[in-house]
Chain A
Amino acid sequence: MQILKNTLYMATAVAVAFLFFSCRKKKADKAPDDAYVPTPYNIQYPSYFPAMHIAEDNPLTVEGVELGRKLYYDPLLSKGGPNDGKSCSSCHIQQYGFTLPNSIVLPHINLGFNSNFSWKGAVSGTMEDMMKFEVEEFFAATPANFQQHAEYPTLFKRVFGSETITHKELAYALAQFFRTMISSNSRFDKYLRKELQLTPSELNGFMIFNTEKGDCFHCHTVGLFTDNQFHNIGLDSVFTGGNQGRTEITGMPTDLGKFKTSTLRNVALRNSFMHDGRFTTLAQVIDHYNTGVKKSNTLDPIMTKPGKEFGLQLNALEKADLIAFLNALTDESFITNPSLSKP
């Protein structure tokens, strides 16, 4: 009888222990001591920016951003290699707001919040999608060049846990850096943060921008100053060659003459405007909206407002105020930020 009791106690103890251990969550496998754990990167941007999409399989890390920055400035990325190749920074120069003077090169500003890229939207999707296009097609980069490099395999291991470098790792590291290229410290941002007051001219320009008077706000959404969409803004009435715009990508006749809304942040640093660089001053751009809009079947409905069929009809003072406001979107700290400069 005693033996039976003991057996019962023992069986109960085994069952309880089994129950305890079987219901416990398993601990994650411990990382080997030599594994490098990247440091999470704390990205910050204003509340009036949309939430940034960050790919689940490419979280921002200090090491990843730093590697992306190194790649951004490295001609090794180009098919021609370091001797005759070009890097991203060849055409996207920080002091000009990461674009190139006298060119139609779109600036690298706040692209981490975008999902359509390039004037005609050649790439849509995530920043990783865009960077894969850049690495594989635009630069036609050779991963072996990085694999054989003295430093890169170690740097990639610190970010991705492996020394193997493919187009994917190149694109992902670049995507991390691009997400940190945030411009949000212009005079206008400081005004929104109540750190300064804009001049009467800038304030009047903002009023023109943000009302039906100028009607800029519908496409240049305050915050990013782009709606990330495509519009025909009446530059032409006949569309041939590269002027066909978004149609060249989608094949849709309804996209004729449509181009991506470019951001107006740091726009005053530029001297080439529109997809073909037809304007060289902000005054010329405003004159287009004021008197130069051309009719076509795909002209954006916003631009056919009764009474303004032939333009905004702003007077000289109003045009000057609008330009003053656009100048207030220049972010000096962005174009001098050492964490975005060549490492």
Chain B
Amino acid sequence: MKNKFSTIAIITFSSIVTIWSCSKHPVMPSHSSLYLNIKYLIDDALLELDTIKYTNEAGNTYSVSKLEYFISNISLKKSDGTVYKSKKIQYVNAAKEKSNQIFLDSISPGTYTELSFIIGLSAEQNVSNSLPSIPENNNMYWPDHMGGGYHFMKFEGHFNDTTATPGYAIHLGKTAYAVKIKIAKQIKLTLRNQKQTLSMNLNEWFKNPNVFDLTGGNNYTMSNDSLMNVISKNGVDVFTLPDK
């Protein structure tokens, strides 16, 4: 009777050990992750595609029909100089919500004081056929006959001219015109996933430091270095990190 009891006890104990050993252990995260959700504004109003109702600094009334670009070289900096760098190159399309969510993981927890990234690609990245061959990347290619690499941005729409509504196509490419964004902001990252809105004010492309007037033949920038230069400089402050 005693032996029988012992046997049952041992088997029960062994079974518990077995079940415990095969179960998945909850893994405690040791790193932070950050979701950047991109929103588009025209000053205080949320962007509505394909409606001619926005007014820029030059007084042009315009619409937005297409806004595609790359975000790359994302980094977060702590006040002690520690830097988190992401290798992610994200194709973003204002019309496709999913592409506007940038997920950054394996970030060391702590308080960061600066977010920086490039609208476009670095010199090493801006090489023809170097990005994964998917339709989105392929449709952004910058012809080899014009220097190769990729479009950094395609920003298109229509505007009211004196007698008509011609189109505009603000295309940015060539490594020199990559837009370097640097935003000072305290971002506290704990071991939980954190969300942060990243807002682009499209009217900022048209001002500061230079007023960009779509009329007068400025409505097409590709292969026009001086226009791309203006857009690149204006683009430095298109993004902000709002509190909410």
User: A280: which B residues are within 8 A, CB to CB?
Assistant: none
**Of all chain A residues, which has the CB nearest B151?**
A218
**Complex contact A301–B146 (CB within 8 A):** no
**Complex contact A51–B133 (CB within 8 A):** yes
Question: A113-B135, A301-B65 known; A211 and B143 CB under 8 Å?
Answer: yes
Kindly identify, within residues 241 to 274 of chain A, every residue whose CB is under 8 Å from any CB belonging to chain B. Answer: 252, 254
**Complex contact A22–B220 (CB within 8 A):** no
Kindly identify, within residues 47 to 84 of chain B, every residue whose CB is under 8 Å from any CB belonging to chain A. Answer: 50, 65-66
User: For the complex, is A31 an interface residue (Cβ under 8 Å from B)?
Assistant: no
Q: How far is the CB of B81 from chain A (nearest CB, A)?
A: 40
**Complex contact A306–B219 (CB within 8 A):** yes
User: A295: which B residues are within 8 A, CB to CB?
Assistant: 164, 166
**Of all chain B residues, which has the CB nearest A307?**
B217
User: For the complex, is B3 an interface residue (Cβ under 8 Å from A)?
Assistant: yes
User: B193: which A residues are within 8 A, CB to CB?
Assistant: none
User: For the complex, is B156 an interface residue (Cβ under 8 Å from A)?
Assistant: yes
Query: What separation, in Å, do the CA atoms of A299 and B7 have in the docked complex?
Result: 85
Binary contact readout A30-51 vs B (1 if CB under 8 angstroms, 0 otherwise):
0000000000000000011111
Kindly identify, within residues 169 to 226 of chain A, every residue whose CB is under 8 Å from any CB belonging to chain B. Answer: 206-207, 210-212, 217, 221-224
Question: A4-B6, A19-B21, A210-B144 known; A297 and B134 CB under 8 Å?
Answer: no
Query: What separation, in Å, do the CA atoms of A289 and B179 have in the docked complex?
Result: 33
Query: What separation, in Å, do the CA atoms of A8 and B146 have in the docked complex?
Result: 80
**Of all chain B residues, which has the CB nearest A21?**
B18
Question: A4-B3, A8-B6, A50-B133 known; A306 and B141 CB under 8 Å?
Answer: no
How many chain A residues have a CB neighbour from B under 8 Å? 47
User: For the complex, is A238 an interface residue (Cβ under 8 Å from B)?
Assistant: no
Question: A15-B17, A211-B143, A223-B138 known; A301 and B169 CB under 8 Å?
Answer: yes
**Complex contact B223–A23 (CB within 8 A):** no
**Complex contact A221–B141 (CB within 8 A):** yes
Query: What separation, in Å, do the CA atoms of A3 and B3 have in the docked complex?
Result: 7
Instruction: Select one of B66, B137, B220, B223 contacting A304, CB under 8 A.
Output: B220
User: For the complex, is A303 an interface residue (Cβ under 8 Å from B)?
Assistant: yes
User: B144: which A residues are within 8 A, CB to CB?
Assistant: 210
Kindly identify, within residues 106 to 138 of chain B, every residue whose CB is under 8 Å from any CB belonging to chain A. Answer: 129, 132-135, 137-138
Q: How far is the CB of B174 from chain A (nearest CB, A)?
A: 14
User: For the complex, is B207 an interface residue (Cβ under 8 Å from A)?
Assistant: no
**Complex contact B3–A7 (CB within 8 A):** yes
User: For the complex, is B226 an interface residue (Cβ under 8 Å from A)?
Assistant: no
How many chain B residues have a CB neighbour from A under 8 Å? 44
**Complex contact A15–B11 (CB within 8 A):** yes
User: A22: which B residues are within 8 A, CB to CB?
Assistant: 18-19, 22
Query: What separation, in Å, do the CA atoms of A37 and B96 have in the docked complex?
Result: 40
**Complex contact B15–A18 (CB within 8 A):** yes
**Complex contact B158–A297 (CB within 8 A):** yes
User: For the complex, is B34 an interface residue (Cβ under 8 Å from A)?
Assistant: no
Q: How far is the CB of B42 from chain A (nearest CB, A)?
A: 17
Instruction: Select one of A51, A221, A297, A301 contacting B139, CB under 8 A.
Output: A221
User: For the complex, is B41 an interface residue (Cβ under 8 Å from A)?
Assistant: no
User: B132: which A residues are within 8 A, CB to CB?
Assistant: 51
Question: A23-B21, A48-B129 known; A14 and B158 CB under 8 Å?
Answer: no
**Complex contact B169–A7 (CB within 8 A):** no
**Complex contact B6–A7 (CB within 8 A):** yes
Kindly identify, within residues 1 to 33 of chain A, every residue whose CB is under 8 Å from any CB belonging to chain B. Answer: 3-4, 7-8, 10-12, 14-15, 18-19, 22-23
User: For the complex, is A94 an interface residue (Cβ under 8 Å from B)?
Assistant: no
User: For the complex, is A228 an interface residue (Cβ under 8 Å from B)?
Assistant: yes
Query: What separation, in Å, do the CA atoms of A18 and B11 have in the docked complex?
Result: 10
Query: What separation, in Å, do the CA atoms of A328 and B158 have in the docked complex?
Result: 35
Q: How far is the CB of B214 from chain A (nearest CB, A)?
A: 11
**Complex contact A7–B7 (CB within 8 A):** yes
Binary contact readout A281-323 vs B (1 if CB under 8 angstroms, 0 otherwise):
0000000000000010101111111110100000000000000
**Complex contact A11–B10 (CB within 8 A):** yes
**Complex contact B11–A14 (CB within 8 A):** yes
Instruction: Select one of A3, A11, A227, A299 contacting B14, CB under 8 A.
Output: A11
User: For the complex, is B222 an interface residue (Cβ under 8 Å from A)?
Assistant: yes
**Of all chain A residues, which has the CB nearest B218?**
A306
Query: What separation, in Å, do the CA atoms of A115 and B139 have in the docked complex?
Result: 14
**Complex contact A47–B129 (CB within 8 A):** yes
Q: How far is the CB of A257 from chain B (nearest CB, A)?
A: 13
Instruction: Select one of A115, A222, A302 contacting B169, CB under 8 A.
Output: A302
**Of all chain B residues, which has the CB nearest A227?**
B139
**Complex contact B145–A211 (CB within 8 A):** yes
Q: A11-B11, A19-B21 are in contact. List 11 more A-B contacts (CB 8 A).
A: A7-B7, A11-B14, A18-B15, A22-B19, A48-B138, A51-B132, A51-B133, A210-B146, A211-B223, A227-B135, A301-B168
A-B contact pairs, 28 of them (CB 8 A): A3-B3, A11-B7, A11-B14, A14-B14, A15-B15, A15-B17, A18-B15, A19-B17, A19-B18, A22-B22, A23-B21, A23-B22, A47-B133, A48-B133, A50-B134, A115-B135, A211-B223, A217-B143, A223-B138, A228-B139, A252-B50, A254-B50, A301-B166, A301-B167, A303-B167, A304-B167, A304-B168, A309-B166
Chain B interface residues (CB < 8 Å from chain A): 2-3, 6-7, 10-11, 14-15, 17-19, 21-22, 50, 65-66, 129, 132-135, 137-139, 141, 143-146, 156-158, 164-169, 217-220, 222-223
Of all A-B residue pairs in the complex, the 5 with the closest CB atoms, nearest first, are A301-B167, A15-B14, A11-B10, A306-B217, A254-B50
